[in-house]
A and B are shown apart, each in its own frame.
Chain A
């Protein structure tokens, strides 16, 4: 079992490296997108998809699937990148990001893209959607799980806290929220724009099981997903401390990379850095 885990995490690391390259290729080619918040969430998505999600690329709408909702829709290149690695999309489709043709619009569209169950782009809605899918699974008596990735700035949205109450009230132990806590949003640092205060205490006071982790530490990510699944009393949230732009030295911790495409030169430099890692 342990060996399996090590092998899985090794695969997840390789996957994350490929994802990072594709995220940069997509945003570079499209001359747009949000690479910073994609790179901060990459390791979380790689572990979730490679180790936990029960899905079938041959049957994206398989009724027994686990659900993943990207509530922070602007990070969709990271989602496309993992869907390429999982076989839902093909490698060549990175060229279609934000293009009129193809299946990779600027924000998630469930109509266009296999493996995506819900559109997003307007922030604050994904946790409610996850609750709905999780309630349906409960009603059906299945053990399907609903995962949702939230941005830290997104937590300003009131609907998140409406949904947090709903999940706790209905004791949705099949809901797992992940906060990509990279501390930066469009206008600057989250602390300066509107502080989240004691985020752990906030979720705990809403009766959530809170797991605070380093969102780039594969052991911690893996363990947190296991513990979230094992916790039976209600919903779990992973507060994942991350670094915006993680993996590309000149992008790390820079709010400017929330919404900016790399130039030719920056792309070359970034890809070179990533090639040294794997």
Chain B
């Protein structure tokens, strides 16, 4: 039972990280119908900006987090303005290819400009304490990650559901031709979407760096694709779906090796299993758990 609870907390931690990153994918897709393949690398930039805040500027945890979220958010808006906006009228595939290119550019540019040494946050960033609750060891890092992710999600959900900006975002994803006619600036809403999505990715990056303290320019590759799977499993375009997909993926990735070892499934199988699940869900429910099929007009 202790083992189960322990793994449950681990899964919750990993799942909320995936969910944070998946939110960015899903928001951008909802508004622009663009799979932003650069998102994983934006997550990496967020984590690196955490190094900048915590070591170079010697800031504590919360200011570092805010600084990284703001700077990364601005980077996201900049990428949209420079690379995606000129392609607003082009075929959607060229935007996707551009996104792939931007991702490669970010990770390799980071590698070229900063060198290949792995980074990590300083010891004083978050002093680790481990609490023993009924035989289950839970560190304060895990609690912080889970609570913070939940708060950020709640904040985002409030923005999307309760504010005028959020209403405009939902309206654009519903009908992007009618909304500008109602006097809503499409460009502003898209920028806001990128700001929020990439800001959350930055938060995810810093929390990831706290939980798994090896940062390198290629860290976004793997995590990014996983978060993408989470977004699709949940039904890309729906933020509740992204959260649910992220948590589901986290649980699979923790529980498969935790209980699979006894039946010969080692932890290296978790990638094929995660993607296999994706495949099955897409075949059975092609629009994901929460997605709504758009009817195609003939």
A-B interaction: no
A: residues with CB less than 8 A from B are none
